[in-house]
Structure 1
């Protein structure tokens, strides 16, 4: 189902969908209200959701859909620079799975790349099982008892964290549990379109106590700051403790790559490396996290009970790369605890 008030863009999206044999257009509507009326009848596998809509906006529509008839939602962002981008990010927090650029005219440069991204995201997200949003995630008490397991052998010096599908709200929850004076620098990879990364960092900066910004080449990472891999660049920590940005070819189709980040942190920090792998489709980060653990670092994966997509954490667990598996609400407090240990040392 396409939800888009502009007739021109709605037709363009329909044309894009028709170009993929894996996709069939179930409905195309001009408002959130119409989408909600049609949803029980059409029962689409995935929804393309505009944010700037007349009447009810796409954020409220996402909330309603996830509460009443959970369906995978891909947000189509009108602009990465205006206020609607923050609304798009909040739609992810409300249960949407990903955000992609709104298509431009067929004759415009870059159209086919954007169109292919839209087609791929719609198909992939149509396969994701979603659950009704009930505000806070239910956490099993048995799982929350796991932090009593063996602590890291060394006091952590740097935290590397990565996520993909479902990542922005998960990262907001984890980093939101860390104090502003958290004693470790945080290096972060989130799979997202390059055009969105600056807006994503700004959105996250407004939600969590730590200062969040895009990483810059040659920076020395400081405690209490989050360094986000910029669009279409790998983020690495050099043996000298300096941030490096690389345009090296994608690894397993990903740039930035979580595995490349984890691998560099393992080499630079060894037993003092702390790694976290959250929700995401595919296996990026699994090999790198495993290397980090083998180098003596401490690694945490998100438990299947809370992951939107358990692909990346599951791959790390299969490879033996997870020191500890925790439900999402327990990860931030665990990291805060490890940080207090560092501060008291």
Structure 2
């Protein structure tokens, strides 16, 4: 007897008929995905999510009556369902809306597929379907404010201020990073280096959005840049960021077959080599295991290591792996990590013991 596997139901929300038809064709061409409904605006998307119960939603940012941000907010409140945002442009205004949707609970954001005549169309279509399949597996829950969690005991009083903090982050990371930087300030504490997995074309807009939301001077890294206390640098899309022997930022090309580029493991392992016991590593929410091996390198070198707590993660994948291989000495929420960074800033120079 042959068992028929149930396909993954996808709801598409886009005000453009041409885009709905193109997205439908892409999804229907996948062996395990099927379109169970199409919405012309955010209001229809909210209603259809309640009625059809899709496994994942592909949501346009700009739509009449109700945009994708408000639709995502209502869906996550009333009928928690994985949402993937799509944008027709990588202009800053459009990207700001996409990242605001991520802050409301959407899992990922990417640019709309281009014309089927584009030479990269097949790869873009494959990547979109792969993302939908992955996001459909995420259990979405109503989020709670983790700000009170810092009242828990944090056994870190004997630690000293690190020279650098290296962070690996993926699905759910934009919201987690907002919390991490929430109470910190410029030109104080250790340098912070971040790898955040993002779709192509979104890194510069994300850094600008995060800088605006947090009030911090946050920038993409440049090759050869010297690392300084208090600075925040993100890896650009499509290149690895690491720390060289002379403690400058190094940007290098990706190798064929690598799953992530930039990769958290590349950054964290290089920080372990360059800074040893004066390094701190953090692995935030995300699918897979990126960052866990690098975090173990930092712990082996005597540095401080942290994994995001399960209850505060959108996807407890990367932090889970870090805990499983005993790479994480501490398990904290993003707000707890933020307050720890504030302590570092208040203490002052790297190497000084925390009170």
User: Deviation of residue 138 (structure 1)?
Assistant: 7.2
Matched, 1:2 2:12: yes
User: Deviation of residue 30 (structure 1)?
Assistant: 0.8
| Pick aligned residue for 2:35 from 25, 45, 48 | 25
CA contact (8 A) 2:149 2:336 kept: no
Structure 2 residue runs without a partner (length 5+): 1-10
2:200 — aligned with what?
194
CA contact (8 A) 1:100 1:117 kept: no
1:266 — aligned with what?
272
User: Deviation of residue 177 (structure 1)?
Assistant: 2.0
Structure-2 separation of matches of 1:321 and 1:250: 27
Cα deviations by residue, 1:135-183 (Å, 9 ceiling, x for unpaired): x247557xx423134543x431011111000001111110122122322
Structure-1 separation of matches of 2:147 and 2:215: 24
| Pick aligned residue for 2:88 from 45, 65, 78 | 78
1:291 — aligned with what?
297
Structure-2 separation of matches of 1:26 and 1:218: 50
2:105 — aligned with what?
95
Range with greater deviation from structure 2 (263-272 or 77-86) = 77-86
Structure-1 separation of matches of 2:178 and 2:257: 26
Cα distance change of structure 1 residues 250 and 209 upon mapping to structure 2, 3 Å threshold? farther
User: Deviation of residue 223 (structure 1)?
Assistant: 2.1
Structure-1 separation of matches of 2:290 and 2:194: 13
Matched, 1:146 2:153: yes
Matched, 1:182 2:192: no
User: Deviation of residue 243 (structure 1)?
Assistant: 0.4
1:117 — aligned with what?
127
Instruction: State the Cα RMSD in Å.
Output: 1.7
2:262 — aligned with what?
256
Structure-1 separation of matches of 2:234 and 2:132: 26
User: Deviation of residue 208 (structure 1)?
Assistant: 1.7
Structure 1 residue runs without a partner (length 5+): none
TM-score w.r.t. structure 2 length?
Answer: 0.92
Structure-2 separation of matches of 1:44 and 1:55: 22
Cα distance change of structure 1 residues 271 and 133 upon mapping to structure 2, 3 Å threshold? closer
| Pick aligned residue for 2:217 from 170, 186, 211 | 211
Alignment: residue pair count = 341
Give SS of 2:259's match.
coil
Matched, 1:276 2:286: no
Structure-2 separation of matches of 1:26 and 1:151: 56
